[in-house]
Amino acid sequence: MTSASSGLRVERLAKSFGGVHVFEDLSIEVPPARVTACIGPNGAGKTTLINIICGVLRADRGQVLLDGRPLDGIQPHETVARGIGRTFQDVRILPLLTALENVLVAIPSQRGERLRDLFLPWRGVGAEEQRNRERALALLEAVGLAPVAARPAGELPFGQQKLLALVRLVATGARTLLLDEPATGIEAELHPRIVTLIRRLVRDEGKAVLVVEHNMDVVREVADHVAVLHGTVIASGPADTVLKDERVIREYLGRLYA
């Protein structure tokens, strides 16, 4: 696979709701081993972009390509099998399950989830579950959530819930991660853990990461490449360049961080 055709690519995407144009001619590349940040004002359609990639919404025009092949008509529950995973702005962890269970339920292809295998003792359901538990616990430890592993996730503070959502996404094993505001709304003390985790995923595991974010500090720390979305992609390039671009600062950064 050449680098040009691997990873996620969005080509000339257009979407409007009713008469409202959210964006058009939107093209973004999310190649492996790189953090691509997508910034832009509220309502610019950043979450809509993620929803379209994951099949929750259909684009009016344009296409989404994974490793060179179009993702037409994909259903939301099929994305993980294709190697794409996402987080939600409003987190959506399972409140009545413990933090550990939240991560466990994200691990794909478990024999213990299949009716048939549950009642055939030679299928090794117990052993697999044990292995999964250890793995899930390790993932939680890596972000400092091990102490709360046995607490119902609904009782955790918002910041920890967001971190948990990120961890469970990692547990799915997806190669391409779409993170919807992973740092927004959480305390500054937790930012380093998120940044470290994302960097590790990209540098050590070569994952392709798209980060939609408002928090410019986190973007500055984590992004390799930035695309600015406002009606269409008004600027795109290496993080240093784009974030210092006059126009971008004036139009967007200025408004937020006057």
Partner 1 sequence: MLFLATLICVWIILSVAANLVVGYTGLMSMGHAGYLGVGAYTAAVANIFLGVNYLLTIPLAAVVTAAVAVVTVIPLLRLGTFYFALATLGLNFVLFDIFLNVGPRVEGTEGLFGIVLPAGLETTGARFALTLLVTAACVGIAWRLVTAPLGRVLRSVRDREDALRALGKNPRGYQIAIWGVSGALTGVAGALYAVTLFYIDPTLFTLNTSILVLVYIGVGGLASIAGSILGPLLLIAFTESFRFLGVHSSLAGPIQQGIYGLLLIGLMIYRRQGLIGKYDFRE
Q: Give me the residues that bind partner 1 (CB under 8 A), please.
A: 54, 75-81, 85-86, 88, 92-97, 101, 104-106, 108, 110, 112-115, 118-119, 125, 129, 132, 168, 172
Nearer to partner 1, 85 or 159 (CB): 85
Q: Which residues pair with 236 in a beta bridge?
A: 227
Q: 145 with 168: CB under 8 angstroms?
A: no
Nearer to partner 1, 78 or 187 (CB): 78
Residue 218 Cβ, how far from partner 1 at the closest point, in Å?
Answer: 22
Residue 93 Cβ, how far from partner 1 at the closest point, in Å?
Answer: 7
Residue 195 Cβ, how far from partner 1 at the closest point, in Å?
Answer: 23
Nearer to partner 1, 173 or 231 (CB): 173
Nearest-Å Rg of the Cα atoms of the chain is 19
DSSP notation for the chain:
--TTTSSEEEEEEEEEETTEEEEEEEEEEE-TTEEEEEE--TTSSHHHHHHHHTTSS--SEEEEEETTEE-TT--GGGTGGGTEEE--TT----TTSBHHHHHHTTSSS-GGGSHHHHT-GGG-HHHHHHHHHHHHHHHHHHTT-GGGTTSBGGGS-HHHHHHHHHHHHHHTT-SEEEEESSSTTS-GGGHHHHHHHHHHHHHTT--EEEEE-S-HHHHHHH-SEEEEEESEEEEEEEHHHHHH-HHHIIIIIHHH--
Nearer to partner 1, 108 or 238 (CB): 108
Residue 189 Cβ, how far from partner 1 at the closest point, in Å?
Answer: 26
Residue 169 Cβ, how far from partner 1 at the closest point, in Å?
Answer: 8
Tell me the C-alpha distance between 174 and 86, whole Å.
9
Residue 118 Cβ, how far from partner 1 at the closest point, in Å?
Answer: 5
Tell me the C-alpha distance between 13 and 16, whole Å.
10
Residue 239 Cβ, how far from partner 1 at the closest point, in Å?
Answer: 27
Tell me the C-alpha distance between 112 and 210, whole Å.
32
